[in-house]
Structure 1
Amino acid sequence: MAGRTPPFAPFEWLIAWRYLRARRREGGVSVMSIISLIGVALAVFALIATLAVRSGFRTEFVNTIVGANAHVSLYDVPRYDQYGALPRGIENYDAIAEMAAQVPGVVRAAPLVSGQVMATANGRNTGVEIYGERLEDLRTIPLVNDPETEQGDLSRFDEGVALGLGVAQALGLSVGDTIRLISPDGVKGPFGTTPRIGDYEVVYIFQVGRYDIDRTRIYMPLAEAQSFFNREGRVDAIEIMVDDAEEVDRVVEPLLVATGGGLYTVTWREQWQGFLRALEMEDNIMFIILSILVLIASMNIVSGLIMLVKNKGRDVGILRTMGLSEGSVLRVFFICGASIGLAGTAIGVVLGCLFAIYIDPIFNAVNWIMGGGVWDPSVRYISQLPAELRLEDVLKAVALSLGLSFGVTWFPARRAARLNPVEALRYE
């Protein structure tokens, strides 16, 4: 009869439930069960919260890259002219930009002049990067046209320059003030090169949320940038944006074919591969470390079950003499351990999801308690702590927790199943 007992029969669940809720003096381990449940819940919560923050950090980091920078840049292949000089730049840039814009997947193709200069105002100096763009092209840069914060009027771009909020703060500038730009590569004369100096009105101030952009970038009208950097009739690159930045590699070859050769490409992945690899490595390391935390929490279930098996040895002996099979005993204790793991995982998932959803008020409270300064954008490159709750991250955490909880439960449950009823009842 015992051999025909269906797995996980109702009476097995009933026995397991009685063991779980039994008080200590009755031979139960309810306190250990609660401790094990809390340990698993906290471990799963930490895992989900960390994965959410890491996913949000990468997404925010990538979005600020692809939202304010070219997804692909086209450059002229360096070659010497008849005089042995190495001219720099693309001459027929409008035609090339038009051809690039026809490639499927390309949503933006714009000529660009860039250079590094010294900026000064109000007795302060700082190094900045100049990006020469046309107004109509600048409006197609998502994080510049629609930034986190903005001051001034972008439509007046042709009358001055647009700069990041960090540059404005470093130089004490506001909209309507004048900024002086100094380039060492200026006017060439018989006695050498004279630095070029230009004064420009600040017409627009933006904040995209990336420290290295807000702190260093200034946009200048394309024609003025060509004159300022001695690029008359030429540009440094053609900026390309595509509809799916994550699949940027699929448009590289079509771009080279469409533009007729003589150019080479640099994608945003190639330009930022060091940061992306660091993020990926950090993700893997954090997952391994937190997996160990989940394993440690799961081991509490083992200690609780071992105590339960020891305390319930007499009960097991009686049940075995009544015809309960080894499989039924194993399943009873397996249900005890698995229930703790399942309940702890469920609580941890809820807590982790709530943390990811309400991370802003939580982080603000922590920042207030710590007196501010918890988040340094100059180190982390983005302005605030992000979090992105992804289904695959939650499923990974659930699978890991349940897998470890069920796995470690098997061994003490197997020990209980193999308990000899004669030995268990010898001294009773």
Structure 2
Amino acid sequence: MAGSATPFASFEWLIAWRYLRARRREGGVSVMTWISLIGIALAVFALIATLSVRSGFRSEFVATILGANAHVQVLQTPYATETGQVIRTLDDYDARADAVRQVPGVTRVAPTVRGEVLASANGRNAGVQVLGQTIADIKTLPLLADPEVSYGSIDDLANGIAIGTGVANQLGVLVGDRVQIISPDGVQGLMGTTPRTSTYEVVHIFQVGRYDIDRIRVYMPLAEAQRFFNRDGVVDELEVLVEDPEDIDDLVTPILAAAGAGTYSWTWLQSSGGFLRALEMEDNIMFVILSILVLIATLNITSGLIMLVKNKGRDVGILRTMGLSQGSILRVFFICGSGIGLIGTTLGVILGCAFAIYIDPIFGFVNWLLGGGVWDPSVRFISELPAELRLVDVLRAAALSLGLSFVVTYFPARRAARMNPVEALRYE
């Protein structure tokens, strides 16, 4: 019996396919079908492209943070001596570093001297941040070991200093030039404090891809930094890297226990967490906004189905009198609408994935077309537009599009199913 046919039987698919292939006199239905399909494809494409860029931006931002900065800094809790001098440095740092290295999950520990000074060369000045570490420790920094751009050799650091490309550009120096480093915390004398100055040869210039590092960072050997900053036998902190930076909070307690009493920590999440929270908030907002775009695109399916139901009213009446159930009619029109949504979503997924994969040549063309200067690393902190295609983002976009397509399709399909065959054929 036709009324008890298996749901989504072959004849239901056949009828739906014939309805989607509108004849010339029903061209309006065909046009709405194409508009709906293209709209959904573009909306899904925009959603996947945006999510991939946002994911890539976060990954690249975190990678540049973690590639040239400590995951956690171990510092001395300030205390006053009997003479009233406030101590903020770590003594016995080699033993402390060896103890922290034994903590499971720790991959690198580097005793570090850190200071803010003035660099001068060629009549130009720049405020810089000097980090003093052993040459072996500097070589183990991920982004210093493999920078985006480098000049000279880090192996020659015993003979000079390494500076970021931003520092080099501001001072107008190249490898082999000399830079004067000036610290206001110098020698105490009868006339007050005399700034401490030293001149160093630039032996290495690096670009790690994060503007605020390339713009201010200077590296020098630990022993020289201790001499220049009056840190004989002590360091300012222990720079610690771990296997999983996202779980740094779980490692802080054992790291501090190994470093000894009187120490405290400052993690990368504390220093850069505000940027990450801002990115996550922007991700959520962009997903909501683009979800509305997908909803608007899927609503075109409703318009097309309403036109289709109106044009096929006579056919629906004939099919009902032949024995088709309301469920069969509903499924026929549901297949029409959901088929448009499925095809549009598939095209959108393909376009979005292709955009994420080939974003470099696409963005290069756009940058060339607009005359360059589209991407400002001083604002975004990284050198180029990143994209990371994640399966979860593709699934979220596809699920949203298909879910909305199925929901908006149901109501005009139900209207067609409830159509009275007598009323449908009364004026035919």
2:334 maps to what in 1?
A: 334
Partner of 1:79: 79
Query: Aligned partner of 1:39: which letter?
Result: G
Partner of 1:249: 249
Which residue matches 1:268? Answer: 268
* Structure-1 separation of matches of 2:120 and 2:133: 21
- The residue type equivalent to 1:61 in the other structure is F
**Which residue in 1 is equivalent to 2:369?**
369
| 3 and 319 in structure 1: CA distance in 2 versus 1, 3 angstrom threshold | closer
Report what 2:37 is aligned to. 37
Task: Give runs of aligned pairs for residues 211-250 of structure 1, distance below 5 A.
Answer: 211-250=211-250
- 5 Å-filtered alignment, 1:176-195, equals 176-195=176-195
Q: Are 1:119 and 1:127, in contact at CA under 8 Å, matched by a contact in 2? A: yes
| One-letter amino acid of the counterpart of residue 390, structure 2 | R
Q: CA deviation at 1:250?
A: 2.1
Q: Is the 8 A contact 1:76 1:88 kept in 2?
A: yes
Describe the SS at the equivalent of 2:341.
Answer: helix
The whole-number CA distance in structure 1 between the counterparts of 2:363 and 2:27 is 44
Whether the 8 Å CA contact 2:156–2:203 is kept in 1: the answer is: yes
Paired residue for 1:141? 141
2:402 is the counterpart of 1:394: no
Secondary structure at 1:336 match in 2: helix
Instruction: State the match for 1:51 in structure 2.
Output: 51
**For residues 150-165 of structure 1, what are the structure 2 equivalents within 5 Å?**
150-165=150-165
Q: Which letter does structure 2 place at the counterpart of 1:29? A: V
Report 1:286-301 matches (<5 A): 286-301=286-301
Deviation at 1:47, TM superposition (A): 0.4
Cα-to-partner distance string for 1:51-102 (whole Å, 9 max, x where unaligned): 0000000000000011110011101011121122211210111111110011
Aligned to 2:427: 427
Tell me how many residue pairs correspond in the alignment. Answer: 428
Distance 2:309 2:356 in 1: 39
Q: How far is 1:2 from its partner?
A: 3.6
Cα distance in 1, alignment partners of residues 26 and 166 from structure 2 = 67
SS in 2 for 1:118: strand
Residues 153-203 of structure 1: CA distance to partner in whole angstroms, max 9, x if unpaired?
A: 111101110001111111111100001111111112233211111111000
Match of 2:322 in 1: 322
In 1: Cα distance, 2:125 partner to 2:26 partner: 77
Q: TM-score, normalised by structure 2?
A: 0.98
> Secondary structure in 1 aligned to 2:299?
helix
Equivalent in the alignment of 2:279: 279
Question: SS in structure 1 opposite 2:209?
Answer: coil
Once residues 190 and 230 of structure 2 are traced to their aligned partners in structure 1, the CA distance between those partners, rounded to angstroms, is 16
8 Å contact kept, 1:19–1:28: no
In 1, the alpha carbon distance for the partners of 2:27 and 2:54 equals 44
Aligned partners of 2:345 and 2:205: how far apart in 1?
47
Provide structure 2 residue ranges, at least 5 long, that are not aligned to the other structure: none
Aligned residue number for residue 98 of structure 1: 98
CA contact (8 A) 2:4 2:325 kept: no
Query: Cα deviations across residues 283-318 of structure 1 (Å, max 9, x unaligned)?
Result: 100100100000000001110001111111111011
Identity of aligned residues (%): 69
Q: Distance in 2 between matches of 1:222 and 1:108?
A: 16
Shift of 1:27: 7.0
The match for 1:201 is 201
Alpha-carbon distance in 2 for matches of 1:351, 1:170:
42
For 2:342 and 2:385, the matched residues in 1 are separated by 30
Deviation of 1:257 after TM superposition, in Å, equals: 1.8
Deviation of 1:231 (Å): 1.6
Alpha-carbon distance in 2 for matches of 1:332, 1:27: 20
Tell me by how many angstroms 1:26 deviates.
Answer: 4.1
Task: Give distance in 2, aligned partners of 1:28 and 1:275.
Answer: 50
In 2, Cα distance between the equivalents of 1:80 and 1:71? Answer: 28
User: Which deviations, in whole Å up to 9, do the C-alpha atoms of 1:383-420 show, x marking residues without a partner?
Assistant: 00000000000000000000011111011111111111
Q: Counterpart amino acid of 1:352? A: G
Question: AA paired with 2:135?
Answer: L
Which letter maps to 2:216? Answer: T
